[in-house]
Structure 1
Amino acid sequence: MADLHYKQSPQPSLGYKDDPHQQTLCTQVAKAITAVTAGGSFLVVAALILTGTVIALTIVTPLFVIFSPVLVPAVITVAFLSLGFLASGGFCVMAITVLAWIYGYVTGKHPPGADQLDSARDKLLNKAREIKDCGIVN
């Protein structure tokens, strides 16, 4: 017997509901108008923000020049204070983490890295025994 292959005849699309890839002209025009309107609005807002920034920079530049002997040391001081607080907070978090790890190790909860610590301790103890057996250290 011969295999029969049936070809389905293409059916005309009736719009967006039947075939999502084929849209009506009205839908395409509406999308284009929406895109142009939104793009134009964003372009106008961007231009206004740029204009405002340039005007503000023009007004503020002389003030920066006049007050720079005060502003530069103030900015440096604030930067150092901020870095100090950030470093202090970072060291505090690190200390709490280390103390929590040590607590877990001492209580036998086997935190991550405990195997490496035990291995290093065993190597050091073996090396100390070898040195002591050689008679170098009493």
Structure 2
Amino acid sequence: MAEQQQYHGVMEKIQEKSPSASQVVAVLALFPVGGTLLTLSGVTLTGTLIGLALLTPLFLLFSPVIVPAAILIALSVAGFLASGAFSLTAISSFSWLYKQVSGKGGPVMEQIEHVKRRAQETAGQVGQRAREVGQAAQQRAGGGRE
């Protein structure tokens, strides 16, 4: 009798910890997908290694041509990107200038004065902070000598 109760207790614990039917179906459905993807990754790795082994001599033979060609392509792309950036800068500058001349933009002098005030305030704050740090350093240095 005690054995049956112990058996039922063990079976209840197994059923509590066992996966549900949906989990079993998910594993059964995903197992072939995972296996297929693992097989494809192995085939890809093998193909890459074989291709690299076969093409390495060609890369070595043609590297005097490939490296300058890659540099030329990189410089060409950089030139096109720089040209586009300069064009955008010029267009935005002309747009700003047009707005200022036509009176559609804010007053330039007010903007310049605002920037000057902010720069002076920032410089004053930096100077004040530098003085405070210098005084604190002097106090520490003077206090250590006595």
Q: Normalising by structure 2, what TM-score? A: 0.55
Match of 1:68 among 63, 80, 84: 63
- The correspondence of residues 9-88 of structure 1 with structure 2, limited to 5 A, is 25-88=20-83
Give secondary structure in 1 for the equivalent of 2:80: helix
Give the aligned residue type for 1:44. Answer: T
TM-superposed deviation, 1:52: 1.3
| Separation (CA, whole Å) in 2 of partners of 1:38 and 1:53 | 22
Specify whether residues 119 and 35 from structure 1 end up closer, same or farther in structure 2 by C-alpha distance, changes over 3 A only: same
Distance of aligned partners of 1:102 and 1:114 in 2 relative to their CA distance in 1, 3 Å threshold: farther
Give CA-to-partner distance per residue, 1:7-30, whole Å, 9 cap, x none. xxxxxxxxxxxxxxxxx8332211
For these two proteins, the number of residue pairs brought into alignment is 98
Gaps (5+ residues) in structure 1?
1-23, 123-138
> What residue number does 1:11 align with?
none
Displacement, 1:114? 8.5
Q: Do 1:105 and 1:114's aligned partners in 2 also have CA atoms closer than 8 Å?
A: no
TM-score by length of 1: 0.58
Q: In structure 2, what residue type is equivalent to 1:88?
A: S
The AA in structure 2 aligned to 1:81 is: S
Which sections of structure 2, spanning at least 5 residues, go unmatched?
Answer: 1-18, 118-146
Question: As a proportion of its length, which structure holds more helix?
Answer: 2
Map Cα deviations across residues 21-63 of structure 1 (whole Å, 9 max, x no partner): xxx8332211111222222222111111111111111111100
RMSD: 2.8
Q: Give structure 1 regions of 4+ aligned residues with deviation exceeding 6 angstroms.
A: none
Q: Report the Cα distance in structure 1 between the residues aligned to 2:96 and 2:57, rounded to whole angstroms.
A: 55
DSSP 3-state at the match of 2:95 = helix
